[in-house]
């Protein structure tokens, strides 16, 4: 479904780089079958397990396109996702965008809608890390250069903050154009672990003072319970 959701995009000038992170099931064979039929799909096979951040970095390194977006193996995009985002970025002359999205469970049932605001700045993202879903973000390499994931927890959050330090704000489309699967073992389902990483990022990555960290963390705690609409 993940690969098919990219193939079904109304914007057809894409390049899909799939990183096989030492899978032990039949995933690689399935990917190879898709790649043999669609030259826009390219495969990178890791020789050792690198995890999500390291695997994404390998894909970013070899990517040739102007825009970079991310999609994990259990998630999907709606057909107009790329077209609408690129059109918005070109219209607004903005180097980063994002869209609203649904969450789904292991049975593909919609569980929540995550709406978004029209603009998100660095300060806004400090208050609410979930304002930009990683599977919905897109950034312009021509304008910003390539950004990579750091080898720490919540590395996607750090990347978004680093990008927003370079620009005034990113622009959003408040239409759900993606589906994000929530697993019981995923970091997003473990609120205590996620909270610890957010605090660590405030204090040790962004190097905010204790008072500022407490200020932003209070907003983070509030938005953790109000960030989505259950279906």
Top-confidence residue, 22 or 156: 156
pLDDT at residue 19 greater than cutoff 80: yes
Residue 127 has pLDDT above 90, yes or no: yes
pLDDT at res. 51: 83
Residue 116 has pLDDT above 60, yes or no: yes
Of 24, 30, 26, 52, nearest to 43 by C-alpha is: 30
1-10, 42-51, 77-86, 157-166: which has the minimum mean pLDDT? 42-51
In the predicted model, what is the mean pLDDT of residues 196-216? Answer: 96
Q: Determine the angle formed by the axes of helices 210-223 and 191-200, rounding to 10 degrees.
A: 150
Considering its fold, how many domains does the chain have in total?
1
* CA dihedral sign of residues 100, 179, 11, 163: positive
Give the mean model confidence (pLDDT) for residues 22-45: 89
Q: Which two tokens stand for residue 198?
A: 């957010």
Confidence check: pLDDT of 187 > 50: no
Specify the CATH number for the domain of residue 67: 3.90.550.10
Confidence bin at 108 (pLDDT 50/70/90):
confident
Across the chain, what does the average pLDDT equal?
91
Question: Does the pLDDT at position 147 exceed 90?
Answer: yes
Smallest CA-to-CA distance from 133 within 177, 192, 193 is with 177
- Please indicate whether residue 186 or residue 77 has the higher confidence score (pLDDT): 77
**Beta carbons of 178 and 225 less than 8 angstroms apart:** no
* Average pLDDT of span 35-57: 90
Q: What was the pLDDT predicted at 120?
A: 98
Match 């605001």 to its residue by tokens: 117
- The domain in which residue 33 lies consists of 2-230
């Amino acid at each position: 479904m993940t690969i098919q959701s990219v193939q079904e995009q109304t914007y057809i000038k894409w390049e899909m780089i799939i990183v096989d992170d030492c899978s032990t099931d039949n995933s690689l064979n399935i990917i190879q079958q898709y790649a043999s039929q669609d030259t826009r799909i390219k495969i990178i096979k890791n020789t050792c397990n690198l995890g999500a951040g390291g695997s994404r970095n390998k894909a970013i390194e070899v990517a040739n396109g102007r825009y970079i977006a991310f999609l994990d193996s259990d998630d999907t995009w709606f057909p107009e996702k790329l077209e609408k985002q690129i059109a918005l970025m070109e219209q607004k002359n903005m180097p980063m965008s994002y869209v609203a999205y649904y969450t789904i469970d292991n049975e593909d049932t919609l569980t929540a809608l995550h709406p978004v605001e029209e603009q998100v700045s660095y300060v806004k993202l400090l208050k609410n890390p979930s304002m930009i879903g990683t599977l919905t973000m897109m950034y312009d390499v021509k304008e910003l250069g390539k950004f990579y994931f750091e080898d720490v927890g919540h590395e996607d959050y750090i990347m978004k903050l680093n990008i927003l330090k370079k620009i005034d704000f990113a622009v959003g489309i408040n239409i759900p154009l993606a589906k994000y699967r929530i697993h019981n073992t995923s970091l997003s389902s473990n609120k205590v672990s996620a909270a610890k990483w957010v605090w660590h990022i405030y204090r040790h990555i962004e190097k905010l003072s204790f008072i500022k960290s407490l200020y932003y963390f209070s907003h983070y705690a509030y938005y953790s319970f109000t960030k989505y609409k259950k279906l």
